[in-house]
Amino acid sequence: MESLLASARSWVKEHAGGQALHLLKTEEWLKRINPAASEAMLLAALTHDMERAFPGPDSPKQDPSRGPDDPLYLQAHSERSARIVGDFLHEQQAPPELTEEVMALIRVHEVGGWPAADWVQAADSLSFLEVNVQPFLNMMSNARTGWSPENVRAKFSWMYTRIRLPEARRWASPLYQQALERLQQQKDFFETGR
Ligand SMILES: [Fe+2]
Ligand SMILES: [Fe+2]
């Protein structure tokens, strides 16, 4: 079990650049909130956003003004990640059933759908609220990114409220409150600094 996860961790570190931390933390959170998580769940958590590491002509583009839960973007992003991770696992000679299960979990990583998928989705939200808040606040200070304070607030709220498992929400609640406070502080700073 460990060797496939170890190869996936190296793959993520090698290709995901600044997003590697979010992916590694998603695996960590999943272990913390569900020590019985399966290999498929851990692999999905670790690699769920990997399509962003391999930009191409078919890369989906997120338009912040369409809201954080734009179904067209989320589906294209999830499908593309599932395909890229499926190819990687195939190259690693992972058992086909395992590869299928990981791909199925990645296809629904934004929305969840059944217990294993809900755990992976919750771990993604927890990792986001732990390590992706600052990058979003940074984008907020650059008008050209399209991430206005309202769009960033909507993104933070969605990452919290989409969590389907009550026990995972309890873990996420303080991180979410902190994210909102930091957003408010940064907004106040810009408004009074002008
Ligand atoms: Fe994602
Ligand atoms: Fe993610």
Check: CB of residue 112 under 8 Å from CB of residue 124: no
pTM, two decimals, is 0.95
Question: For residue 163, what are the CA distances in angstroms to 122, 157, 190?
Answer: 5, 10, 31
What's the CA gap between 140 and 190, in Å, rounded?
11
Provide the pLDDT for residue 143: 81
Domain boundaries along the sequence of the chain: 2-193
Ligand nearest to the CA of 123: 2
Quick one: CATH architecture of 2-193? Orthogonal Bundle (1.10)
Percent share of the chain, pLDDT over 90:
89
For helices 115-127 and 20-33, angle between their N-to-C axes, nearest 10 degrees:
130
For the segment 64-75, what is each residue's pLDDT rounded down to a tens digit? 889 999 999 999
Ligand nearest to the CA of 132: 2
Q: How confident is the model at residue 146 (pLDDT cuts 50, 70, 90)?
A: confident
Q: How far is the CA of 106 from the centre of ligand 1 (A)?
A: 8
Q: How far is the CA of 110 from the centre of ligand 1 (A)?
A: 6
Provide the pLDDT for residue 193: 65
Give the residue-averaged pLDDT of 127-140.
Answer: 95
Provide the pLDDT for residue 145: 87
